[in-house]
Structure 1
Amino acid sequence: MKLTLYWHPQCQTCRKTKKWLDEHQVPYEPFHIVKAPPSREMLQEMYEKSGLELKYFFSTSTKKYREMGIKNKLKTSTTKELLDLLASDGMLLKKPILTDGVKVIIGFKEEELEKYTTLDF
């Protein structure tokens, strides 16, 4: 299955991930995380497959995260409410998100990316 990369061109970590994939000739389909964010359903699927706590899907460095008081919402909101919040604005998502439909990588993790160089796409 082809990889899907949700990224933002101004994000340094996103550019690093994209460059790594290009240099290693790993095929992927890029999506601008703000212009074409993953759907709420896709976010739920990625969350369930990732094995991560939902808080790791939030970009804590954004102004919007701080203004909306999301740090406190993480403690009191349901999973459904948090997924709805993530789906409402691509800038709230930690970037980049790379998935093959089974595995999900958030951020730049070279050791995880290495596994994709051995796959036959």
Structure 2
Amino acid sequence: MVFLQYPPCSTCQKAKKWLDEHGVSYDARHIKEENPTVEELRAWYSRSGLPLKRFFNTSGLAYKSLALKDKLPSMSEEEQLALLATDGMLVKRPLLVDENFVLVGFKPAEWQEILCK
């Protein structure tokens, strides 16, 4: 299981603490230093069943400075995936990725349901 995080992010810190408290083992990955690739993002998006927009950090400075709120609707999925792969700060975090699931953002109840069966 891979835990993609931006360490200074308070939500990522809460998610990491939750994983540690629940004894969940994971490989931590700094999302800004080791950006997800287009191939990874495509696979995670496909596995998640979520709309691609959910993978964007819509409250982030990069998202806002690129005016993506207005641009995303006219971009193809491939263009969006390629854009996400250019900057880890565009990607919603934390991400918890396993071969069976992809969790985007930290929702304790959802994580509990999936990880603590």
TM-score with structure 1 setting the length: 0.91
SS of equivalent residue, structure 2 residue 50: coil
Structure 2 runs not aligned, ≥5 long: none
Percent identity of paired positions between Structure 1 and Structure 2: 44
**Residue correspondence of structure 1 range 10-89 to structure 2 within 5 A:** 10-89=8-87
Question: Are 2:88 and 1:117 aligned?
Answer: no
- Deviation of 1:112 after TM superposition, in Å, equals 2.3
SS of equivalent residue, structure 1 residue 88: coil
What do the CA deviations read for 1:60-99 (whole angstroms, capped 9, x no partner)? 1112111111111211000000000000000000110001
Aligned length in residues: 116
Counterpart in 1 of 2:98?
Answer: 100
- Deviation of 1:46 after TM superposition, in Å, equals 0.4
* Runs of 4+ off more than 3 Å: none
Q: C-alpha separation between the residues in 2 aligned to 1:31 and 1:60? A: 21
Q: C-alpha separation between the residues in 2 aligned to 1:101 and 1:74? A: 28
Structure 1 runs not aligned, ≥5 long: none
- Deviation of 1:102 after TM superposition, in Å, equals 2.2
Q: C-alpha separation between the residues in 1 aligned to 2:99 and 2:110? A: 15
TM-score with structure 2 setting the length: 0.94
- Deviation of 1:111 after TM superposition, in Å, equals 2.0
